[in-house]
Amino acid sequence: MEKLKRIEACPECQQEGAYFEEIKMKDPHISQEIKYVLHYIECGYCDYNGGLFASQKVALEHWNEKKKFKICPFCQSEEADLCNEAYNYFVICSDCKSKGPLADNENEAARKWNDREVGLYPDAHCC
């Protein structure tokens, strides 16, 4: 069996120590019988969970993927960094220096960058 990769820090609160959980789904008609098992990863600090998946491997891939920034909507670069100016946090593209929406904290900035529709976010600008 393939060895699982490490569980990265929580994409929501950035704490280490998230763990695997599973839910046993029972067949509603035959209440004793376990129909299938769904896996997810849960953060012990903020209770964030990465969503339900059919295997630990897929759950982990999705969890670890969450930490990454999506590609830049202007230049499609995959490299971006979190920055802050005074009390505003934002994600900035490492290549074209486009800024994502401003936020009050790092997590929010990352979420706003990742949640936007490509090419479509209100206070983004390209310099």
Enumerate binding residues for Zn ion (CB under 5 A). 10, 12-13, 43, 45-46, 48, 72, 74-75, 77, 93, 95-96, 98
- Least Å distance, CB 62 to Zn ion, is 15
Residue closer to Zn ion, measured from CB, 43 or 124: 43
Residue closer to Zn ion, measured from CB, 45 or 53: 45
Between CA 64 and CA 35 the distance in angstroms is: 28
Between CA 27 and CA 56 the distance in angstroms is: 21
- Least Å distance, CB 93 to Zn ion, is 3
Residue closer to Zn ion, measured from CB, 27 or 65: 65
- Least Å distance, CB 73 to Zn ion, is 8
- Least Å distance, CB 61 to Zn ion, is 18
Alpha-helical runs (H) found in the chain: 56-66, 106-115
| 86: Cα within 13 Å, side-chain hemisphere | 2
Mention every residue, 6+ apart, whose C-beta is less than 8 A from residue 102. 88, 89, 90, 109, 123
